[in-house]
Each structure stands twice: as C-alpha cells, then as structure tokens.
Amino acid sequence: MVSERTQPVEDRHRVAGWVRGTIDEADELRLRSADRQTGDDVEYPGISEMLRDFRDPSLLHEYSHPTCRKIERVESSMWTERPWLHELLVCPNHERGLTADNDVLQCDLGDSFPIVGGIPRFTPASSYADNFGFEWTRFPRLQLDDETSTESSDSFRRRTGFAPEDLQGKRILDGGCGMGRFADIAARWGGHVVGVDISAAVDAAAGNLEGFANAALVQADLRRLPFAHGTFDIVFSLGVLHHTPNTFQSMSRLAALVKPGGMLAVWVYSSRLRWTLAGGELLRQLTRRMEPETLLRTVNAVAPRAHALKQRAPRFARYVDLVVPTSNHPNPDWRVLDTFDWYSPRYQWKHTYAEVEGWFHRLGFEEVDRQDFPVSVRGRRPLGPSRQDAAGSA
C-alpha cells in the first residue's frame, strides 16, 4: 500500500529507519521507505528535486544526503548471491539461527532485522560512528587498490603479516571494514570474507565488493555481532578498535569469534602519535563535535594551505604539524580524507605494543607477534579451550 505523506524525510526518517532509492523508467528518482511501525510504504514527494544531481543509478549507493540516512539501490545481489553468509548468521541477542522472510531476518524468539540494499542490518540508524558513514560514502573508492596503486595491500601486509596463501580458502572477518579496501584484498586473495561495520560505510563497501561472491557485508556493531563464537579462521581489524569506547573490550569480542587454531590481527593507533600531534588532540575536542559537512568543508580549505606552507618552508613543517597536524600523503585527495579521518571520530585512543601484546596474552592467545607498523599485533588462538571461554563458563 502506498500512502501519501508530506512530512519532511528528516522527520519521517526517525521512524522509518531506512530510505531506499530507485530509478524508474521515466528516469525519475523515487524514494520509498517501509515504515517500521505501520508497515506502509511511504513516498516522499519532492525528494527527486533534492536529489537531481544523483540520477546515475551507479552513484546511488555511494551517496548519502543530509536529510536521508541511507539511500540504497533496492535490487542488489549482495544477499541473494551469498548463501554461505545465510548459514553463518545468528541472532545477536540469542545466538539462534535466523530465517529470511521478505527482506527480514527473524529469530524464533521474536527479534527481527531488516535486509536493506542486500545487507543485513543489526544496528540502529545512528551511532557514535556516523562520521565514518559520512566519510566512506563521500570517499568510497579513493583508497581501493587498482592498476595504479597497491597501497592498501602493502598496508595490509605490513599490519597483519598475512600473505595471499594464508587467506586462501579461509573464512575471514574484517571487523570495521569501512568502504571495504581490506575486505577487497582478502576476497582477491581467495578468502570468504565478511565485512562488518557499524556505520553506513557498508553501503560504500557494497559498491566495491558486489563483484565478489566470496565477499559479504553486514551492518553491525563489532561488540555484538551476529555470529557464533569460533566462526572464523581469521579475524582482522585495522584502524578500528581505538575508535570504539573501549579498545580492549572490543578486541575481546572479536577474539571470541576466532576458531581454535585461528588467527586474530589488529592494528591500533600508537601512543607515540600523542606527542607529535599534541595540537591536533586539543583541536579534536572541537572538531569531533562539528557536523561532518562543516568539518569536511573546513578540511578542504585548510589541508591544501597547510600543505603548501609545509612545502614552502620545510624547516617549519614539524611545527606546523605540531599545532595543526594535517596529512602529508602525496595524493591531495588522500590528504583531505586522512585529515578528516583524524579530526572527526568521537573516540580515538592510543596504545603501545606492550599493552596490546598483553591483551592477546590475557585472552589466552599464543604466537603473539608484533608486526612492522606500530601498533600492529597478531596472535593465534590455542587449539584447546581459550581462557576467555573458560572464564565465560565459570
């Protein structure tokens, strides 16, 4: 049933949760949303006008409008062509299997979770990580490897120590996948990889991973994931855990998903950053409270000027970076993305090798190894029951 409603999308959205976009035959952008409370389809007159710049269907999944949290292509193979994912999912509240019924996953104890744009969704529409949803839907492909760049795969090797043969045929979890650049590598190296992210970043990742039937996505909080303990051969989480409220607690949730004999690899920010970026930490108290749009405009204005200044006066570059640190990446767009990424997150903790290695030991992991890039550590879950499980059952 289609009902006429005139409320602004913004207001409706709080009830509806998700907004979907399609291009109809008349090249009109139509947005629909199933109202979660009434089950009605709701249409938004006038929305096509607002989105007239985004008529290209291939752009839809990469776009997020300030008044709409999500805009999805309705048809997507992300769910239908990944039957292996269906078997892995469990209800995060009861650890029971889920049955799919018309784009809804149901647990027999009454929970239900929507599948939108081919992605099962286990999070509320908004979280502390909305800045990342904004970031990755704005820069959906910049850091993806292609014929001209292997920067992400180089970075993956340095942070995890994994080579293609380590991932081949393995069941892998990418905890906090962002737009999917590392899940993309795991998929290319022959793993069956599930990328999870709490934010709308999964929509950007879907655009990047749609071509890999061995890569799937789930929108979920890594502290409460819809997978049974011991599901994955390899779990990695790069650049994520320090952005959660408690790095160790989040890591321990991921650790529980590793199979006995499997590996966990994490990269978190290094404490050494604290001194070089002293000015940035102060500024962050302001910038992390800014609307993402405003912050991005500011970064777009400041980053190129700061870069030019550092180029002109290399002897003072250090001092500029001390007061207003900005990225020094050779690519100007990466500089803007990295700088936005630094100033926007709500949480941003820093850690030492000793601390992270200590966490691995505390969780009962063995073969705990430092990787090259600070602070990257990986470890193996022993074949017997881990201390974490023993503690859980005590």
- The residue with tokens 């905890």 is 175
* Contacts (CB under 6 A) with ligand SAM, residues 153-192: 176-178, 181-182
Instruction: Please tell me whether residue 238 binds ligand SAM under the rule CB under 6 A.
Output: yes
Instruction: Please tell me whether residue 244 binds ligand SAM under the rule CB under 6 A.
Output: yes
Quote the CA–CA distance of 115 and 120 in Å, as a whole number: 4
Quote the CA–CA distance of 381 and 367 in Å, as a whole number: 9
**Cβ 84 to ligand SAM, closest distance in Å?**
21
**Cβ 45 to ligand SAM, closest distance in Å?**
32
* Contacts (CB under 6 A) with ligand SAM, residues 115-154: 129, 132, 136
Segment near ligand SAM (CB under 6 A); pick from 44-52, 55-63, 193-201, 293-301: 193-201
Instruction: Please tell me whether residue 91 binds Zn ion under the rule CB under 5 A.
Output: yes
For CA atoms 324, 330, 335, 337, the dihedral sign is negative
* Complex with ligand SAM: residue 238 or 303, whichever CB lies closer: 238
- Selection from Zn ion, ligand SAM, none that 243 binds (CB < 5 to 8 A by kind) is ligand SAM
Show the tokens assigned to 275. 């001194």
**Cβ 102 to ligand SAM, closest distance in Å?**
26
**Cβ 199 to Zn ion, closest distance in Å?**
23
A 10 A CB-CB count for 26 gives 6
Residue in the shown chain whose Cβ atom is closest to ligand SAM: 178
Residue of 95, 119, 146, 116 whose CA lies nearest to 215:
119
R_g of the chain, CA atoms, integer Å: 21
Instruction: Please tell me whether residue 239 binds ligand SAM under the rule CB under 6 A.
Output: yes
Quote the CA–CA distance of 194 and 233 in Å, as a whole number: 12
* Complex with Zn ion: residue 111 or 166, whichever CB lies closer: 111
Instruction: Please tell me whether residue 209 binds ligand SAM under the rule CB under 6 A.
Output: no
Quote the CA–CA distance of 195 and 181 in Å, as a whole number: 10
User: x/- string (CB under 6 A) for ligand SAM, residues 86-105?
Assistant: --------------------
- The residue with tokens 């292509």 is 73
Provide the β-strand partners of residue 113: 105
* Contacts (CB under 5 A) with Zn ion, residues 326-385: none
Query: Of residues 197, 233, 321, 338, which one binds ligand SAM by CB under 6 A?
Result: 197
Peptide bond into 202 cis (omega under 30): no
